Amino acid sequence: AANGMRDPQETRRFLSGGPVSLPIDAAFVPLFLLVPVLLHPAYAVVASGAAILIVAMGLLTEFLARRPAARANDAALKSHAEVAAAIRNAEVIEAMGMRAAIVRRWSTGQNRALALVGIGNQAAKALAAAARSTRMALQVAMLATGATLVVDHAVSTGSMMAASFVTARLLHPFDALIDGWKQWANALSALRRLRMLLADGSAGRNREPVIATSGALTVDNVTFMPPGSERPV
């Protein structure tokens, strides 16, 4: 439940950020794919191949970077929960001489979380850089295709520029998805934890009325001494 208090904030940051609009951009992909088909079939072949290649890189990012990031997030949440519990019981831990052991335990969990974060970030950054380079190369390939068609008098020069512009817009949602996969993964994990937290039924309260019953009270050897007095009442 303590970790669940952070999950609504994670979800709110995702909803107010940029990656949440990716499905809306992806809805226009068929339209941007139709325009190269109308200009020339060769444009459509290059644009379709570019989209398939970007999607393949996105799936590769999902398998190589998302899982380490999810494990790192879980390890970080566990480390934060242990620190919060230790702070609440700081006096008891200090009195029992457990501070050094608690510090070592926290350090071990923190190092594990940082190692997983490093693995996920390295893979994500490498794949993002490769995706940007691939996207630039695909735009150059589209221009080269258009130049070849112009030389062969198959299309006009304006169609070459139009195809290049439309292809850039076609690849934008896929390229943004590679960069925004982490926000999507964190938001989905937070939503899943909130559903599990709210669906376990442990937060209910008994609303049955308490029936008042009669009983007897017995006291024995009760003594009270007022403050400042040496004689009990």
* pLDDT at position 204: 61
How far apart CA 129 and CA 230 sit, in angstroms, is 84
Q: Residues 148-153: contacts with CB within 8 Å, 24+ apart?
A: 149/40, 149/42
* pLDDT at position 172: 77
Helix (H) or strand (E) holding 13: helix 7-15
Of 65, 63, 180, the residue nearest 121 (C-alpha): 65
10-64 pLDDT, tens digit per residue, is 888 888 876 777 777 778 888 888 888 888 888 888 888 888 887 787 777 777 7
Q: What is the three-class DSSP state of 38?
A: helix
How far apart CA 126 and CA 132 sit, in angstroms, is 10
Confidence (pTM): 0.54
The lowest-confidence range among 34-38, 88-92, 200-204 is: 200-204
* pLDDT at position 3: 65
* pLDDT at position 39: 85
How far apart CA 87 and CA 75 sit, in angstroms, is 19
Torsion angle of C-alpha atoms 89, 92, 96, 98, degrees rounded to 10: 10
**Residue 232 or residue 186, greater confidence:** 232
Q: What percentage of the chain exceeds 70 in pLDDT? A: 92
Give one DSSP letter per residue of 146-168, joined into a string.
Answer: HHHHHHTTSS-HHHHHHHHHHHH
Q: How confident is the model at residue 156 (pLDDT cuts 50, 70, 90)?
A: confident
* pLDDT at position 38: 84
Q: What is the mean pLDDT of residues 128-137?
A: 80
108-125 pLDDT, tens digit per residue, is 888 888 887 777 777 777
Q: Is 97 left (phi over 0), alpha (psi -120 to 50) or beta?
A: left
59-86 pLDDT, tens digit per residue, is 777 777 766 777 777 777 777 788 888 8
Half-sphere exposure of 162 (CA within 13 A, CB side): 16
